[in-house]
Amino acid sequence: MNNILNYRWFHFGPLLIKTKIKKPDLLKIKKLISKKSSNYNKKLAGVIKHEHAVDFVKYRDAIAPYLNLYLHGYQQRTGLKKKGTWTCTNAWVNYMKPGEFNPPHTHDNCNISSVLFVKIPDELKKENEMWRKRDIRSGGPGSLEFMYMLQEEFCIGNIHMFPEEGDLFIFPNFLFHFVAPFTSKCERISVAANFDLKTEK
């Protein structure tokens, strides 16, 4: 009987990686963001009042070592080596408050996208924890969800998670994603950035 339990299963779909930014690097990034920088929300899909530009050159330099993890993940997954130069096309900070959200969307003018969570308030953590006790089918308030295809039987077309401070997600620009709203009276901070990877043969 046990011999029929010997099997493999396969990953399909886009490469999505999650890593954790070290505290010294996160402190550097916090110094790059401000509500005093130019407003950026007219260029974005989010229903968020305070979305502001971030110096994308300095931001790229701050997270460059983490971007290379994406290439390492690609090699681990496919067995193929890929080298290249990262160029940041734009970066912005989201100061998300109660009722605000990011609808399902993709990013353009790039081939790789990312989101870094800079601050996750305790009030939001408690709200999400209470929600998850009653509904495990969704990520709940303040969660991040990625979608690649319609949800069908025997098919995993989406993944959701509640981020922690310092979590960095890197993914292809065509991968649909959204951020759920919350009701807690607090402010969550995240930085989104897009990159072009110029590959070398």
Mean per-residue pLDDT, 114-141:
91
β-pair type (144-147, 188-200): unpaired
Please determine, for residue 82, whether its predicted confidence score (pLDDT) is greater than 50. yes
Q: How confident is the model at residue 73 (pLDDT cuts 50, 70, 90)?
A: very high
Task: Tell me the pLDDT band of 8, cut-offs 50, 70 and 90.
Answer: confident
Per-residue model confidence (pLDDT) at position 2: 55
For the domain made up of 13-200, the CATH class stated in words is mainly beta
Given this model, what pLDDT does residue 86 score?
A: 93
